[in-house]
């Protein structure tokens, strides 16, 4: 039993680190992409498109799936459905339905023991995370197939709900988790764990702890099992103004963000790194052809050991060894139809491709390279 468990944990750890898990077969349509090329792999899905409003996606290495959850209080739709993309079939599926805004009543709201709102509701005997923009607030822990949301419920976007009830009952900050197999939500016992306009990531050495920051500058780690909180101080000055994402950098056991720069100097491209061992941030200027990194992900590509971002209608990659950006010339904008896709970007280690999702669920795959070191700034 112990040896079987060790193998399973090793496979999960390898998948999280970006190495293809042996139990998942590559999809030739994805794995066979040429270097620096993009391909539209899915369109026409009829799921609620409002889910993608100012929200993100996240990859689950345990099931080899991508999840989308979010939407907006400004869309008049109040979407809170969960959707799944399967790289094997290249199909999207709804895992959990939208709950109508009319159900956001005082009676249906969920509170903790101190009567603070958790940011969800009860409907037909089940609980659901309520509608919210998720930004970079979706994570999957390396030791369990769960989609955890670190983003709280924000401001109401219109008069279609009772403003008083919304403020008192639904502007909640519980930590929500979705089980994609059971298709069920669970929530922390107490409010105050989630934050606003977040970037979030997990350190595999501490699989139960989620690291994330808020736009206001608060930086913390939360244990999603025990609900313990570590106050990690303030983030660098540039991060709060850019809604930057956060990603794990295994080469240096660090967390990184590629924000646009301080508010007073938004064109100053900077690289921020948080050393998980020392607990220190470092910030340096970058070189090369940097994209506008306002409100977009920097996703680690473990095959080539660089960070990839989609912005300005193209894929760019950042080499931490050279401290330099490179533009790929992928032509992806013609496929996805947008210059920026917020945080709807993550990496598929089985097929070695990046996946981005545009409006109308247009899903585009991008291959940087299958041969580390073949492109400037990349490495084995």
How far is the C-alpha of 341 from the C-alpha of 35, rounded, in Å?
22
Of the listed ranges 98-102, 268-272, 303-307, the one predicted with least confidence: 268-272
In this prediction, residue 103 carries a pLDDT of: 93
Helix extents (H) in the chain: 2-16, 28-31, 163-169, 333-336
Which class would CATH give 2-367?
mainly beta
Question: Could you tell me the two tokens for 223?
Answer: 């244990």
β-sheet with 138-139: strand ranges across: 138-139, 147-149, 176-179, 184-187
Domain boundaries, the chain: 2-367
C-alpha atoms less than 13 angstroms from C-alpha of 271 in its C-beta half-sphere: 21
Whether 89 has a pLDDT exceeding 80, the answer reads yes
pLDDT digit string (tens) for 118-166? Answer: 999 999 999 999 999 999 999 999 999 999 999 999 887 666 788 899 9
In this prediction, residue 259 carries a pLDDT of: 84
Is 23 within 8 Å of 347 (Cβ atoms)?
A: no
How far is the C-alpha of 33 from the C-alpha of 352, rounded, in Å?
9
pLDDT digit string (tens) for 34-84? Answer: 999 999 999 999 999 999 999 999 999 999 999 999 988 767 778 999 999
Whether 270 has a pLDDT exceeding 60, the answer reads yes
Whether 169 has a pLDDT exceeding 80, the answer reads yes
In this prediction, residue 197 carries a pLDDT of: 93
Q: Which residue has the tokens 């089940």?
A: 126
In this prediction, residue 159 carries a pLDDT of: 66
Backbone angles phi and psi of 269, in degrees to 5? -75, 125
Whether 12 has a pLDDT exceeding 50, the answer reads no
In this prediction, residue 11 carries a pLDDT of: 42
User: What is the rounded average pLDDT of the residues 165-186?
Assistant: 96
User: What is the rounded average pLDDT of the residues 90-114?
Assistant: 96
Question: Could you tell me the two tokens for 92?
Answer: 């999207």
């Amino acid at each position: 039993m112990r040896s079987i468990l060790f193998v399973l944990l090793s496979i999960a750890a390898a998948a999280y680190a970006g190495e293809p898990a042996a139990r998942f077969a590559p999809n030739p349509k994805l794995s066979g992409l040429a270097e620096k090329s993009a391909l539209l792999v899915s369109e026409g899905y009829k799921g609620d498109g409002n889910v993608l409003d100012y929200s993100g996606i996240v990859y689950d290495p345990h099931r080899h799936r991508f999840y989308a959850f979010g939407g907006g209080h400004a869309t008049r739709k109040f979407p809170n459905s969960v959707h799944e993309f399967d790289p094997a079939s290249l199909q999207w599926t709804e895992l959990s339905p939208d709950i109508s805004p009319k159900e956001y009543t005082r009676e249906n709201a969920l509170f903790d023991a101190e009567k603070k709102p958790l940011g969800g509701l009860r409907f037909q005997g089940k609980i659901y995370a309520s509608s919210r923009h998720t930004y970079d607030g979706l994570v999957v822990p390396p030791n369990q197939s769960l989609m955890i949301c670190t983003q709280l419920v924000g401001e109401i976007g219109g008069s279609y709900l009772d403003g008083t009830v919304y403020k008192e009952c639904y502007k909640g900050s519980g930590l929500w988790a979705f089980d994609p197999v059971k298709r069920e939500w669970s929530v922390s016992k107490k409010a105050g764990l989630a934050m606003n306009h977040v970037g979030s990531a997990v350190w595999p050495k501490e699989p139960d702890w989620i690291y994330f920051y808020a736009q206001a500058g608060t930086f913390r780690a939360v244990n999603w099992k025990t609900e313990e909180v570590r106050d990690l101080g303030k983030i660098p000055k540039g991060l709060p103004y850019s809604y930057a994402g956060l990603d794990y950098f295994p080469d240096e056991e660090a967390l990184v963000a590629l924000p646009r720069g301080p508010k007073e100097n938004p064109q100053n491209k900077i690289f921020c790194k948080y050393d998980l061992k020392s607990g220190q941030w470092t910030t340096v200027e970058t070189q090369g052809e940097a994209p506008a990194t306002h409100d977009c992900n920097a996703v680690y590509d473990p095959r080539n050991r660089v960070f990839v971002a989609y912005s300005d209608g193209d894929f760019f990659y950042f080499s931490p060894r050279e401290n330099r950006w490179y533009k790929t010339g992928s032509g992806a904008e013609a496929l996805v139809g947008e210059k920026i896709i917020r945080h709807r970007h993550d990496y598929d280690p089985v097929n070695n491709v990046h996946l981005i999702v545009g409006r109308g669920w247009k899903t585009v795959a991008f291959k940087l390279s299958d041969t580390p070191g073949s492109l400037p700034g990349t490495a084995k």
